[in-house]
Amino acid sequence: MQLREIEPGLEVYECPKSGGLWIPLQSYLAWQARHPQVMAVPSESGAPVLQDDSKQRALICPESGRLLLRYRVGHGLPFHLDRSPATGGVWLDKGEWEALKSRGLHVTLHLIFTAAYQRQVRSSEHVARLTETFRDRIGAADFSKVAEFGAWVAHHPKGRDICCYLLDNLEPKTEPDAAPNQVAPQR
């Protein structure tokens, strides 16, 4: 691996074969401490297009020889970062540093490996999957109407009352004497 400066004052090791980068933890933390004012404006359009790497095999730490642990990046980026549990160093595939910079994540790289960050990524992914599931089930046009109505109810001062009314009036009514599976006639 060859030593290379990817930012002023941030030296990393680049693999000449793959173009991947190994960022030693101490190098990153020293760079970050010297450049606390460095902030990037997140941009959706500036990120390089990278493939989903969720099927990629585990990598080995170039410093310790141990397996690297994988962490989701989230924020619309489909790849994972690989971090050494022994040294704290981080492996980035080619183009990942630029993608992180495009979202302003390069200055807080160390936070991606925290439980709180990973929980937020999983939660965001869950909401996105749930939204997509209901969009598919309801249909795009009707889903748009439901989402608009939902946003209106969420900000309405009587939103809870509206939800109660809807739930009480949308469920099928059964007569007290009726069999459990028999629906009461509409009035």
Strand order in the sheet with 21-23: 2-7, 10-14, 21-23, 90-92, 77-83, 69-74
Domain ranges of the chain: 2-120, 139-170
Tell me the pLDDT band of 35, cut-offs 50, 70 and 90. Answer: confident
Quick one: pLDDT at residue 140?
Answer: 93
Q: Locate 80 and state its tokens.
A: 């994972």
Q: With beta carbons less than 8 A apart as the criterion, state whether 111 and 117 touch.
A: yes
Strand partners, 21: 14, 92
Mean pLDDT, the chain, whole residue set: 85
Name the residue among 34, 10, 37 with its Cα closest to residue 24: 10
Quick one: pLDDT at residue 185?
Answer: 57
**Rounded to the nearest 5 degrees, what angle is found at the Cα of 49, between the Cα atoms of 28 and 69?**
45
pLDDT per residue as tens digits for the range 122-140? 999 899 999 999 999 999 9
Residue 18 has pLDDT above 50, yes or no: yes
Q: Which amino acid is at 142?
A: D
Tell me the pLDDT band of 92, cut-offs 50, 70 and 90. Answer: very high
Residues whose CB is less than 8 angstroms from the CB of residue 66 and which lie 6 or more positions away in sequence, other chains included = 60, 84, 85, 86
Residues whose CB is less than 8 angstroms from the CB of residue 147 and which lie 6 or more positions away in sequence, other chains included = none
Q: Locate 73 and state its tokens.
A: 């990046």
Quick one: pLDDT at residue 43?
Answer: 46
Quick one: pLDDT at residue 4?
Answer: 93
pLDDT greater at residue 138 or residue 52: 138
Residue 41 has pLDDT above 50, yes or no: no
**pTM of this prediction?**
0.67
